[in-house]
């Protein structure tokens, strides 16, 4: 079984290196990746519904405004939203993001604002009505992972800051019926059915997963270093020692070599591990300790004890990437 998975990842990697060089390469800040979906602007006269703009509001207008889920409120502001977006006065720059709005996204919002449609709430299954299936799919992840990739719940991991190609690999993995996980395998397999995603190297599926990787990975965490510092202050004396121990272990084991570069991004195909949810880190490290969960990490954690791993999880969860290099 493991062999089969390794092979499908290798196929994915070679697809990546042959035909998707630009999409798979790590992009610097403020350089939107032109995914297949972004290349074409919607043609003139295409009617836009609230379903088309809702994920764009969540992506570019949250957390400063709250129209992302409130159709009547958004519709009552149509004119002003259209004017603000057309004049480029909005969206205001958000320091938590590395993602800027694209011209195509501006066009979609403007089309909606000029009211070329009845403003009806549509569903993804009406594929003829919803033009951007990728955006519709991304909006299905918000409830657990947050609209900008920082999750609001202790049970769901952050996606912000991960290398986009790492997210793609994980999503492909979760589509495998043998995948391990409490929530994602069932989620991904149901979404794959609904959105027509296929296993293996189906080009349309890889384009969609690449879109999701870029969408979530290229946000910065909205947790700040003040937030993590405040949480550390609340630790009891024993946990403070654990925290220091975790810090020492991370430095001695050269975890940063792969997980944090000087620009605070991880190396290609690697997750952001700082300010990640503690319970999630613990369960992943335990998975690696059991020889599963990845191709690189099981060997790395082999010499570490269970109490080492729990100190590491505590340290990582309460350290912002900006403080991780110190
Ligand atoms: C980083 C925060 C931030 C982001 C992101 C942001 N805005 Fe704003 N927006 C503001 C602030 C602050 C004001 C009020 C004062 C001003 O105009 O500077 C405002 C005002 C507005 C107004 C006029 C007031 C109103 O509510 O009618 C509109 C319309 C608007 N924004 C639309 C948008 C849209 C659409 C987006 C996303 C595409 C967006 N904004 C993203 C901060 C933001
Ligand atoms: C109902 C909640 C829920 C929804 C909806 C959901 N996820 Fe997840 N996600 C989780 C949980 C929980 C995990 C941890 C793995 C597990 O236990 O299944 C996870 C893990 C992940 C991971 C691995 C993170 C890592 O650090 O390795 C990725 C990537 C991911 N989800 C992406 C997505 C995307 C993209 C969507 C939308 C298409 C999505 N998720 C929808 C709950 C959810
Ligand atoms: C040689 C590069 C490399 C080094 C060194 C490394 N990692 Fe990793 N890490 C990875 C890769 C690649 C993954 C993805 C899983 C895999 O393939 O093993 C990963 C995954 C993880 C995850 C899972 C995160 C998630 O979101 O699911 C954690 C936690 C982690 N590493 C912690 C560490 C710690 C702690 C150290 C040091 C003891 C370390 N890593 C050293 C490459 C590395």
Q: For residues 81-107, give the mean pLDDT.
A: 84
Q: At 89, list the tokens.
A: 């006065």
Locus of tokens 């952001």? 272
124 alpha carbon – ligand 2 mean position (Å): 20
CB within 8 A of 278, min separation 6: which ones? 154, 313, 314, 317, 318
- Kindly tell me if the per-residue pLDDT of 124 is higher than 90: no
Ligand 2, atom 38: closest residue by C-alpha: 141
- On whether the CB atoms of residues 132 and 108 are closer than 8 A, the answer is yes
- 3-state helix, strand, coil split of the chain in percent (to 5) is 55, 0, 45
- On whether the CB atoms of residues 325 and 259 are closer than 8 A, the answer is no
Locus of tokens 């994915």? 12
What is d(CA 305, CA 184) in angstroms, rounded to the nearest whole number? 28
- Kindly tell me if the per-residue pLDDT of 129 is higher than 50: no
- Residue 233 CA, chain-centre distance (Å), reads 29
Q: Give the up-direction half-sphere exposure of residue 317: CA atoms within 13 A in the CB hemisphere.
A: 23
The second-level CATH assignment, the architecture, of 225-324 is Orthogonal Bundle (1.10)
Q: For residues 114-130, give the mean pLDDT.
A: 44
| Structure confidence by residue, pLDDT tens digits, 290-326 | 999 999 999 999 999 999 999 999 999 999 998 988 7
- On whether the CB atoms of residues 220 and 161 are closer than 8 A, the answer is yes
Beta-strand runs (E) in 163-229: none
What is d(CA 34, CA 276) in angstroms, rounded to the nearest whole number? 28
- Mean pLDDT rounded to a whole number for the chain: 81
pLDDT value at residue 65: 82
CB within 8 A of 88, min separation 6: which ones? 106
Which atom in ligand 2 lies closest to the alpha carbon of residue 276? 26
Q: CB atoms < 10 A from the CB of 178, how many?
A: 10
Ligand 3, atom 23: closest residue by C-alpha: 284
Whether 65 is in the pocket of ligand 1, judged by its Cβ within 6 Å, is yes
Q: Give the up-direction half-sphere exposure of residue 183: CA atoms within 13 A in the CB hemisphere.
A: 8
Radius of gyration of the chain (CA): 21
pLDDT value at residue 269: 95
pLDDT value at residue 92: 84
| pLDDT confidence band for 54 (50 / 70 / 90) | confident
Ligand 3, atom 2: closest residue by C-alpha: 258
Which atom in ligand 1 lies closest to the alpha carbon of residue 56? 38
What is d(CA 106, CA 92) in angstroms, rounded to the nearest whole number? 13
pLDDT value at residue 285: 98
Whether 59 is in the pocket of ligand 2, judged by its Cβ within 6 Å, is no
pLDDT value at residue 46: 58
What is d(CA 202, CA 211) in angstroms, rounded to the nearest whole number? 14
Whether 301 is in the pocket of ligand 1, judged by its Cβ within 6 Å, is no
Q: Is 286 left (phi over 0), alpha (psi -120 to 50) or beta?
A: alpha
Where do the domains of the chain lie?
1-222, 225-324
pLDDT value at residue 111: 83
60 alpha carbon – ligand 1 mean position (Å): 10
Whether 92 is in the pocket of ligand 1, judged by its Cβ within 6 Å, is yes
Whether 84 is in the pocket of ligand 1, judged by its Cβ within 6 Å, is yes
């Amino acid at each position: 079984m493991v062999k089969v998975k390794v092979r499908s990842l290798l196929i994915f990697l070679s697809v990546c290196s042959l035909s998707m060089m630009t999409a798979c390469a790590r992009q610097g800040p403020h350089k939107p990746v032109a995914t297949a979906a972004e290349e074409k602007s919607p043609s003139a006269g295409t009617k836009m519904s609230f379903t088309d703009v809702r994920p764009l509001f969540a992506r570019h207008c949250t957390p400063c405004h709250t129209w992302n889920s409130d159709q009547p409120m958004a519709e009552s502001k149509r004119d002003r939203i259209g004017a603000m977006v057309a004049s480029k006065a909005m969206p205001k720059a958000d320091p938590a993001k590395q993602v800027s709005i694209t011209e195509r996204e501006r066009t979609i919002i403007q089309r909606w604002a000029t009211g070329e449609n009845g403003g009806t709430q549509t569903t993804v299954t009406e594929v003829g009505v919803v033009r951007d299936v990728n955006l519709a799919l991304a909006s299905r992840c918000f409830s657990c992972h947050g609209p900008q990739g920082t999750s609001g719940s202790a049970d769901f991991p952050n996606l912000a800051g991960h290398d986009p190609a790492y997210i793609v690999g994980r999503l492909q993995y979760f589509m495998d019926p043998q995948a391990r996980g409490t929530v994602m395998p069932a989620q991904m397999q149901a979404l794959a059915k609904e959105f027509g995603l296929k296993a293996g190297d189906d080009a349309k599926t890889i384009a969609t997963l690449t879109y999701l990787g870029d969408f979530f990975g290229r946000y910065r965490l909205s947790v700040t270093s003040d937030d993590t510092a405040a949480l550390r202050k609340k630790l009891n004396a024993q946990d403070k020692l654990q925290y220091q121990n975790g810090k020492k272990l991370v430095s001695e084991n050269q975890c940063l070599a792969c997980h944090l570069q000087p620009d605070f991004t991880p190396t290609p195909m690697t997750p952001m591990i700082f300010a990640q949810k503690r319970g999630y880190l613990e369960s992943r490290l335990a998975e690696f300790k059991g020889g599963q969960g990845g191709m690189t990490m099981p060997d790395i954690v082999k010499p570490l004890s269970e109490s080492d791993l729990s100190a590491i999880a505590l340290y990582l969860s309460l350290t912002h990437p900006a403080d991780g290099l110190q």
